[in-house]
Structure 1
Amino acid sequence: MKIYVVRHGVPVDGLTAEIRSDAERPLSERGIVETNMVASALKTLGARPDPIVSSPLVRACQTADIFQEHLEGERLLSGSLAPGGAPDEVFSFLSKYEDRAEIMVVGHEPDVGDLVSALVGGSKQFCMPFKKGAVCCIEVADIPPVLSGGIVWMLNPAVIGAFFQVKQP
């Protein structure tokens, strides 16, 4: 099974009268553009995740919605992907979908880095840093992984933009 671990796209900075909490911060224009570019690249690479699961925070939901527009997987929410969620909580949620060939999860740092570490058998000392909008593709045999998974690739918006010669916003 392939698991695509995604950090949400670039959100707007700070709080306003309309955005009263960190959980309400939406993607910025740059975040929308970059996420569309990354989702388009994954479609070109043949990614077909189903389901696409996100944290309930606005920026993660918007990121997952953009991926769904391009990749068409079922959209789900999981509190296990909210900030502070532990890999074991994510595995518990995802175990219902272990018959699927590909799954996508959209969350926040440092949690997505911790999730990748848990998937590849690393410890807390192994940290996979994620830029906003980055995607890491991991192959695992089981959820939760009994044996260590392997990182297939990791891409971020800057690399994808350079590869496809897209000017970054």
Structure 2
Amino acid sequence: MRLYLLRHAEAENTAPDETRELTAKGEKTLRKLCQTLKPEEFDGVRKLCHSPLTRAVQTARLFKDFLKLSQPLQERAGLRPEDNPFVWLRELAEDEDDLMFIGHNPHLSILADALMLQSREGGLITFRKAGLLCLRRLCPPSRALPYGEWTLEWFIVPRVL
């Protein structure tokens, strides 16, 4: 199983947090990110799950459109910046299909750190806006590894685009 984590692209700072829209720069950065990717990389993803906040919804739609992906978009509770990322650990433990989460910091960073470090401490991964990370689960959860064993496949940060 692979888990793709995409932080929303740059958004305006003027509107209320829930309704902030992507800037032209944010859309351009996201387009550049998508130009570096191969759509077939995401063939195993069954759905693109996104936060209900406007900037994450827009990022999810543009990502899907730019790569011409056919998977459905699905708004999911639990992907807001202030939500507890640990609620996803059970679903990730039971799922065999690849998943993609489009959301926010600190949520995505905490989730990635928990999976790779088996810890709630964090501090390893810092997502920039429009940053995309791919984790691969090597083995399912066990007593020794309660979240399963995960490894970093790749991490694309916008600065290198």
* TM-score (ref. length: structure 2): 0.83
Asked if residue 148 in structure 1 is aligned to residue 149 in structure 2, the reply is: yes
CA distance in 2, matches of 1:143, 1:29: 42
Q: CA separation in 1, counterparts of 2:42 and 2:62?
A: 14
| Per-residue CA distance 1:143-167 (angstroms, 9 max, x = gap) | 89642201111111221x2xxxxxx
Tell me the amino acid that sits aligned with residue 149 of structure 1. Answer: W
**Counterpart in the other structure of 1:30:** 25
Identical-pair percentage: 25
Question: How does the TM-score come out when normalised to structure 1?
Answer: 0.80
Contact 1:91 1:143 in 2 (8 A): no
Runs of 4+ off more than 6 Å:
none
Q: Is the 8 A contact 2:4 2:134 kept in 1?
A: yes
Letter in 2 for 1:79: A
Matches within 5 A, 1:33-72: 33-43=28-38, 46-48=41-43, 49-69=45-65, 70=67, 71-72=69-70
Determine whether 1:111 maps to 2:82.
no
Structure 1 unaligned residues grouped into runs of 5+? 16-20, 162-169
Task: Point out the structure with the larger strand share.
Answer: 2
Q: How many residues of Structure 1 are paired with residues of Structure 2 in the alignment? A: 153
- The 5 A counterparts of 1:83-102 are 83-92=81-90, 98-100=95-97, 102=98
TM-fit CA distance, 1:74: 1.6
